[in-house]
Amino acid sequence: MAACDAPWSGPTLPDGAHEISLRQLSVQGGPFDLAPDIAASTSLSDVRQQVIAHAIRARFDEQHVCLPAATGLCWGQFSQEQGVVYVAVITNYECTSAVKERTAVGGQTLYFIHWVGNPQGVCNASMAVPSWRLYSASRHDLPGTGTLKVRFELQGTEHGAIDTQVALS
């Protein structure tokens, strides 16, 4: 039997970072792909292109990348907004683990932290194919100009980081 996580267990913010909220635009409707990864841009079209290119490199055929319920190309139901940075993230499917996520900004870095606790119970969805989720971050919560590093941190039973960059102008 696996150990349970303490109620206070979860993601820790990097030193000097403060928590911000991202607006979740889509839990489903993003393309299927292999995880984990992150894409970000001030352009929704650019994020779509990054995500589709990643899925095709992972051997998904372009016609099968997006869910059938999606309107148009991946996240086609959304229009470009001004004053936001789009962040698309894909994580492995954890069907029986405690999962917590936090977002923060510290200096010129936006952090998306995905924490996975100890496995609990039996998992019957090990073959589930993950899909990308889409978020937006208000430019008011981010540094004004320069290059914004977007860091996807895996904490808990998984460890690692994946970085991308966004030019803020």
| 129-162 per-position pLDDT tens digit | 788 899 999 999 999 899 999 999 999 877 899 9
Task: Please state, rounded to an integer, the average pLDDT across all residues of the chain.
Answer: 85
Does residue 158 fall inside a structural domain?
Answer: yes
Q: How many residues does the chain have?
A: 169
Long-range pairs for 41-45: beta carbons < 8 A, 24 or more residues apart: 41/85, 41/86, 41/166, 42/84, 42/85, 42/86, 42/166, 42/167, 42/168, 43/80, 43/86, 44/75, 44/78, 44/79, 44/80, 44/81, 44/86, 45/80
Output the pLDDT for position 61: 67
| Residue 114 is assigned to a structural domain of this protein | yes
Six-digit token string for 76 = 């086609």
Domain count, the chain: 1
Task: Give a yes or no: residue 119 inside a domain.
Answer: yes
Gyration radius from the chain CA atoms: 16
Region 14-36: mean pLDDT is 87
Strand order in the sheet with 18-20: 18-20, 97-106, 109-119, 146-156, 160-168
Residue 6 falls within a domain, yes or no? no
How far, in Å, CA of 54 to CA of 70, rounded? 18
The pLDDT assigned to 70 comes to 46
Residue type, 38: I
pLDDT tens-digit series, residues 100-124? 999 999 999 999 999 988 877 666 6
Q: Determine the structural domain holding residue 163 and report its residue range.
A: 18-168
Is residue 1 in some structural domain?
no
